[in-house]
Structure 1
Amino acid sequence: MGWRLLAATGMRRGEALALRWRDVDLDGSRLQVRRSLGVVKAKGAGEQLVEGPTKTGQAGGVHIDPDTVAALRTYRATRGSLSPELVRDAALVLGNLDGSHRHPERYSRRFLEQVVQAGRALGEDQLPRIRLHDLRHTHATLLLAAGEPVKVVSERLGHASATITLTVYQHVHPGMGRQAADRFAALLRG
């Protein structure tokens, strides 16, 4: 469910791993992104998982599509059948079965392992090796390519400004230049 959630919302990994059920409004098709999970390495104490503010320090809301709402409903019901503790308001949406946080770096590593495994099954040349964060890039790039206003995409991603969205996430793909030329010619023709 987590990887789908990241792809469907463009959330950062830490934001998704800190998401709690109280932040999920399935009836309103909306998530509240309030916190982010990070790894802190302390001298002599090893690693600690720490929830803190989002990257920008601002909470924000993200609308979710009907298919993702349905998937979250099913996921919640499945987790609730394992233990009612896993679906309480304070419970982590993407937590471990014991209710604890998933380790962000291990979560990314597991994603990459699944991509590699799928690539082997399909044939190495059929699936590029992608990182978990690439789901965020894909989310933003597809929305921008579909003509979604940059301000809307920027708000979905939780960026402080639309400039960040354009600079980091708007990728130019083959054929986009031709499409721009064709659209411009159509505008001139009236």
Structure 2
Amino acid sequence: MSAYYDKRTKNWYCVFYFTDWKGTKKQKKKRGFSRKKDALEYEREFFDKLPSSPDMPFSDMVELYLADKKMHTKLKTYKTKKSRIYTWILPYFNDKDINAITALDIRQWQGELKGAIGATGELLSPAYMQNLITEFSGIFNFAVRFYNLPTNPCKVAGNLVGKKGKSLDFWTREEFDRFIDTFDKTDPYYAAFMTLYYTGMRIGELQALTIADVDLKEGVIHISKTYSVIDGKEMITAPKTEKSNRDVLIPHFLCEILKEQVQRYYKVPPNTRLFQMSRQPYREQMKKHCKLAGVKKIRLHDLRHSHASLLIELGFSALLVSERLGHESVSTTLDIYTHLFPSKQVQVVERLNKLYEGAL
């Protein structure tokens, strides 16, 4: 028997032992029942719930989640996840048990996000808030999969903060030409921006390129790594995905430009990085030369979108664009750029008509 009568309060209470998610034996005591039956019912419901619901603080689950991500994701990805969670999620839910967080709690948190001010001094963008919701949902999915949490309350709560827009910023060929014409052709940034625009590689991939990676005789750039700075330390790691390991064929004019860039180095080992500028100077150069050229300001990553747009305009297929950009699958390419591909519906109807008429 685990239900007892308290003569002082004239109420019933229950006391029992259970084993928590860590395997530690603990005592549970609950007071304030008017009937013995109610106290015993509470104990029964507690044990019914226990096997399928981790009785742990949300902060403990976060540590388990981040430890898993540290083992299975790139360091930069892990750092980004940790920063988002510690800044925008953990402070709000730190004191709650994970199995006590409800969909209503999450909706209230989303409401607070709408009025939150970010590091830039401005309201958080819908895209960034969606990233936070995705991160939060990932923690619950982890708990459901590995710690028997019954459901993910984020799925019930939904998204109240908006979604990422499908619009892309990119330059047309004319806009890029106006931008690049503001550089002296001996400027290393000239070679760097020409390479970014005509290959579609990521900025980290460009920064990681070595002299050995550029085969000017065959006109091929071998992409097998990426460059980043984490906690002030320069790091060369594997690229974003497995498909990011790729060979990108380049036109003759770009070979000539890169040849001049290689010749800047004299008797250096082949593993010397071809472009040794850090990320911030690239941003500063873009800002300065956009103003000089009178073109709209875009991000460094948007040069990658500009290359994709150029290929699509030239009539190349989604498969080729996917291979050149190093996307994990063609579906990724279509998800990002599908609105840029010209509609072929009219051509389909015309050909079906000709096929039918020919058959008759």
TM exceeds 0.5?
yes
Q: TM-score range by the shorter chain?
A: 0.7 to 0.9
Structure 1 residues 112 and 84, CA gap change in structure 2 (3 angstroms): farther
Q: 1:117 aligns with which of 292, 313, 317?
A: 292
Distance 2:301 2:346 in 1: 32
Query: Structure 2 length normalisation: TM-score?
Result: 0.42
Deviations 1:64-94 (A, max 9, x none): 11111121122223x13xx433xx4111111
Unaligned stretches of 5+ in structure 1?
42-46, 96-101, 120-126
Distance 2:227 2:331 in 1: 25
Confirm or deny: 8 A CA contact 1:37 1:104 kept in the other structure.
no
Deviations 1:39-82 (A, max 9, x none): 213xxxxx2221111011452111111111121122223x13xx
Q: 2:280 aligns with which of 76, 94, 105?
A: 105
Distance 2:339 2:256 in 1: 30
1:187 is the counterpart of 2:351: yes
Q: 2:214 aligns with which of 24, 36, 39?
A: 24
1:65 is the counterpart of 2:233: no
Deviations 1:103-132 (A, max 9, x none): 22332332232212322xxxxxxx222222
- The equivalent residue for 2:302 is 134
- The equivalent residue for 1:5 is 195
Distance 1:6 1:167 in 2: 22
Deviations 1:120-173 (A, max 9, x none): xxxxxxx22222211110111221232212122111111111111111234438
Confirm or deny: 8 A CA contact 1:6 1:136 kept in the other structure.
yes
Distance 1:170 1:144 in 2: 10
Q: 2:318 aligns with which of 126, 137, 150?
A: 150
Larger radius of gyration: 2
Distance 1:145 1:170 in 2: 12
Q: 2:273 aligns with which of 67, 74, 92?
A: 92
Distance 1:132 1:20 in 2: 20
Q: 14-23 or 137-146: which moved more?
A: 137-146
Q: Which runs of at least 4 in structure 1 moved beyond 4 Å after TM superposition?
A: none
- The equivalent residue for 2:171 is none
SS at match of 2:328: coil
Note the C-alpha offset of 1:181.
5.0
Query: Structure 1 length normalisation: TM-score?
Result: 0.76
Identity of aligned residues (%): 30
Distance 1:108 1:37 in 2: 16
Structure 1 residues 39 and 170, CA gap change in structure 2 (3 angstroms): farther
- The equivalent residue for 1:54 is 239
